[in-house]
Structure 1
Amino acid sequence: MVGRPAAVNPPIIATRTGRAPWTLRRRLVVAVVGLLALVSLVIGVVSVAILSASLMDGLDQQVKGAAERSTVFFDRRPSGDFTLPAATANDVLNGPSQPPGTLALVYDGSTVTAGYTDDTGAVVALSSEQVTQLVTELDTAVQNGGTAVPFSVNLGGDVGEYRVLAETARSGTLYLIGLPVASVTGTATQLALIIAVVSLVGIVLVAFLATAIVRLALRPLQRVTATATRVSELPLDRGEVLLVDRVPAADTDPRTEVGRVGSALNRMLDHVDVALETRQASENKVRQFVADASHELRTPLASIRGYSELTRRSGQELPPDAIHALGRIESESVRMTGLVEDLLLLARLDEGRELEREPVDLTRLLVDVVSDAHAAGGDHTWDLDLPEEPVLAAGDGPRLHQVFANLLANARVHTDPGTRVDVALGVEGEHAVVTVSDDGPGIPENLRATLFERFARGDSSRFRGTGGSTGLGLAIVQAVVLAHHGEVTVDSRPGRTSFRVVLPLA
């Protein structure tokens, strides 16, 4: 049985939280879609830039053609004939065959006229601010001596941006001819929109195709993962284990990355299988040895106990030291006999021997067990809570009696006098539930992991009474309960320790 020293505070375990990492499938799909989007963006930008440059060159040629036609108009006017009125922007726009949207500004040294034609061919006059801006641009072009290179002017409003060219007629008249840039920007915008729509549709389509292709390509890895998951769910810590799961041969081709992983996993499972078989064989030998040794020791221990008791009761006058020695021999033989019986029981349970399956009245059994505990530990307070109706469980009566006797003995031996021990019986669904609780010091955190292991002991200095503890009490509790297809758990904290035994009803 396991002692319960003073409880210690469990260490504080720091928890790390963060965003869940992306799966390989998501990373591959995002990488493919991202690269496609980047390539589509580069192609779109370059295509629109090249088209815009080409259309702008074509527009400049059209502006130069319009300027040449206007020059012919001015040159046809008689030179020095002051009887004719000065040429105006309307004359330039209506005279030569200019396309709709053509802009003109004429400056004859004293008068400035400017306008542009709309879609119907009608001339629309410019505002004073627009005229001032054109005059400023014209003066700048003349000062720079550049009348052969078109340049851009943004007049704002409904007029918008124009590509203009400044010229000087032989008569000395300055004029400016321009064509709208809207056609160029419209065509470039339309191309950009078409590329954007086609790229978006292509990206979505590629995303679906990439997801399907990646999912198909990762199916072998999923099969490898499924094999590893099935193996990880096997109870490898005890009993005979057969590792029959292996990665399929189709997924172990060393020429592929997944195949190398599958092959490595199969080799590891082969090694683990051999190790488990070796461990099981060793355990079987030890278990058989313990069973044989326990069985063989029962007879000599019974003989030692009998002869010591016979000698002590023979009526012959013996020295006090001899009487004390015989008493100790008899008590130790009794303790050794109990230890041997416990080891033999555990060995038989480990071999998987079935226990008796009979209806056991847990109500009456707990009354007997608590009565025995009260007689053995009168310095404790014992309380029993039973339902009104008897509760029958399917199992082996003597073994279940031993389970609850061990739990009560554990509470009695490892708690201080005056400790209250509560035993309660109830029914939950198709199971009987027995709880054994005490208000003792509790079980330290570092002992809970090995609480039900064999020969697990707490602080031996806390053992009171004769015989101490063999360290097999709770191990027998767990082994017997599991053999009954039940469950035993413990919940402990300072001032409260509770063992909970769940057994199937009869």
Structure 2
Amino acid sequence: MTGLGRSWPLSRRLVVGTIALVLVTLILSGGAALLALRASLYERLDQEVRMGLAILAGPARDAPGGGAGEGGGVVDPGPDDGSGGGGGPDAGSAPRLRLDTLEVVIAADGTATRASTVGPDGTVASLTAAQLEVVTESADRAEQPTTVDLGGTAGSFRIAAQSGPDGTVVAGTSLRDTTATIASLGGILVVVAVAALILVGAGIAWLVTSALRPLRRVAGTAERVAQRPLAVGAVTLPERAGLAEDPGTEVGRVGAALDTLLNHVETALGARQESEERLRAFIADASHELRTPLASIRGYAQLAHAETFEMPATQARSLERIESEAERMGALVEDLLLLARLDSGQRLRREPVDVTMLAIETVSDLHAAMPDHEWIVEVDEPVEVRGDAPRIRQVLINLLGNAGRHTPAGTRVTAAVTRVGGEAVISVSDDGPGIAPELLPRLFDRFTRGDAARNRDAGSTGLGLAIASAIVQEHGGRIDVASGSAGTSFEVALPLLGAGEIEQVDS
């Protein structure tokens, strides 16, 4: 089947396929009927030709009937009236000429003593020289009936010839009636075929439409389920095909299986959502509860450092590590708490934010913190979005901070802010060594680290990009990354602040 046929709906393919099969059947049967009729008519015609040849070759063949070059005459010349118009003493005994026939008598010396046709109205017409030549050429091979075309109004004839010592006689019968009969039957068959195709097409269309109606219900149910967001959040699937009452048909079995599958999927999604909510609540509660003891640990460590007496080197180093790890754990707890809040659907602030100024300030801060890198800001004009300024700043800090921490000294890091259509596009790019290709598909997953073996003293939790992605998505934007040997580029797109929007703050 062609590509076009494969793209058709099943109902159309069934209807068109059935009509095509019926059409082929009608063509073959009609063709066979026409061929059988033609063979039968030609057989009867050949019998008439042989009969005419026997009559023409008999004793009365020399009776006057119009020689070559003579004008038309009547079928029955009648008795001689003394005018010399067409009869002799033996004219009354000549056989009556038959309608739509041809008679040619060629003497032994090759001259045609008779060469005429009798039309359907009984008019006798002499053959022209060209027509006589066609008949003469065919007479040599016309011992069995054969077809010749005399052209003009004469048309085609079925002829047969018989040679003797006195010459050759040729008799023929016109194909006019035979051709008309075959053409008439062909027209009737065409009309019947068209009517049959219309009736069969309408019947098949109704039958296929009725038979496939349950299947369309199944397809509609599957399409509605496919349009539902099943990846996150609480999910209910009220759609059902409702064909369980007809399990005896293939479509009913498919519909029942789909309903069963949807029940299982809804149960699984409900269990997943319940598990995620419990885990999210646990992370939020644990993170919240850990903030106080971690703050206490940092406070006691700082208090111990404030003592004036000299501590042993081991004790001083231990206190430093306790304070450092407490700070790192505090940052991890804050990140986990933020992710839990974002996952739970906590709304962010919605106010006009100048991302151009945020980019300039963030790059300035990192230039002071990492002077061994080259920091560049590319902005043309203020670009505003509606969102939460501290969270957008956190996205910039995470992206620019990663570019500074995971690239060697001297790397150029560029932050650019532009307008593209209805979006504010923030790009952070560097000319460092790039990110390993195997990390790119899961770069925004939680606890993904670019170097699993690096020292944890750097303070990285593997949550920075996950937090950036969650914040951007919460703002209705997107974040993409491209990396290679020439460097890495992150692109954040946020909806622009619409003209005429009412400024409001949702806290």
Q: TM-score, normalised by structure 2?
A: 0.80
Distance across 2 between alignment mates of 1:322 and 1:62: 134
Match of 2:117 in 1: 117
* Residue 291 of structure 1, CA deviation: 1.5
Match of 1:82 in 2: none
1:451 aligns with 2:450: no
Distance across 2 between alignment mates of 1:153 and 1:259: 64
Aligned residues: 464
Residues 295/97 of structure 1: CA separation in 2 closer, same or farther (3 Å cut): same
Alignment of 1:292-441 (within 5 A): 292-389=285-382, 391-427=383-419, 431-441=423-433
Distance across 2 between alignment mates of 1:155 and 1:231: 73
Alignment of 1:97-176 (within 5 A): 97-106=96-105, 113-119=113-119, 121-125=123-127, 127=129, 129-130=133-134, 132-133=136-137, 136-137=140-141, 141=143, 151-154=145-148, 157=151, 160-164=156-160, 166=162, 175-176=169-170
Match among 4, 14, 21 for residue 6 of structure 2: 21
Match of 1:13 in 2: none
Distance across 2 between alignment mates of 1:269 and 1:74: 97
Match among 492, 495, 501 for residue 500 of structure 1: 492
Residues 163/251 of structure 1: CA separation in 2 closer, same or farther (3 Å cut): farther
Match of 1:147 in 2: none
Match among 172, 177, 180 for residue 171 of structure 2: 177
* Residue 274 of structure 1, CA deviation: 0.9
* Residue 196 of structure 1, CA deviation: 3.3
SS of structure 2 residue aligned to 1:178: strand
Contact 2:481 2:488 in 1 (8 A): no
SS of structure 1 residue aligned to 2:321: helix
- What is the root-mean-square deviation of aligned Cα atoms in Å? 3.5
SS of structure 2 residue aligned to 1:349: helix
Match among 251, 268, 272 for residue 275 of structure 1: 268
Residues 403/172 of structure 1: CA separation in 2 closer, same or farther (3 Å cut): closer
Match of 1:188 in 2: 182
Contact 1:164 1:179 in 2 (8 A): no
* Residue 309 of structure 1, CA deviation: 1.6
Distance across 1 between alignment mates of 2:202 and 2:114: 58
Residues 364/73 of structure 1: CA separation in 2 closer, same or farther (3 Å cut): same
Residues 137/428 of structure 1: CA separation in 2 closer, same or farther (3 Å cut): closer
Distance across 1 between alignment mates of 2:201 and 2:444: 55
Match among 60, 63, 74 for residue 74 of structure 1: 60
Q: Which runs of 5+ in 1 are unaligned?
A: 1-17, 76-85, 142-149
Residues 173/361 of structure 1: CA separation in 2 closer, same or farther (3 Å cut): closer
Moved more, 323-332 or 38-47: 38-47
1:246 aligns with 2:240: yes
Residues 258/475 of structure 1: CA separation in 2 closer, same or farther (3 Å cut): same
Match among 45, 49, 66 for residue 31 of structure 2: 45
Q: TM-score, normalised by structure 1?
A: 0.80
Residues 395/133 of structure 1: CA separation in 2 closer, same or farther (3 Å cut): closer
Amino acid in the other structure paired with 1:436: V
Moved more, 188-197 or 124-133: 124-133
Contact 1:114 1:131 in 2 (8 A): no
* Residue 385 of structure 1, CA deviation: 3.2
SS of structure 1 residue aligned to 2:347: coil
Q: Which runs of 5+ in 2 are unaligned?
A: 68-74, 78-93, 498-502
* Residue 221 of structure 1, CA deviation: 2.4
Distance across 2 between alignment mates of 1:28 and 1:118: 56
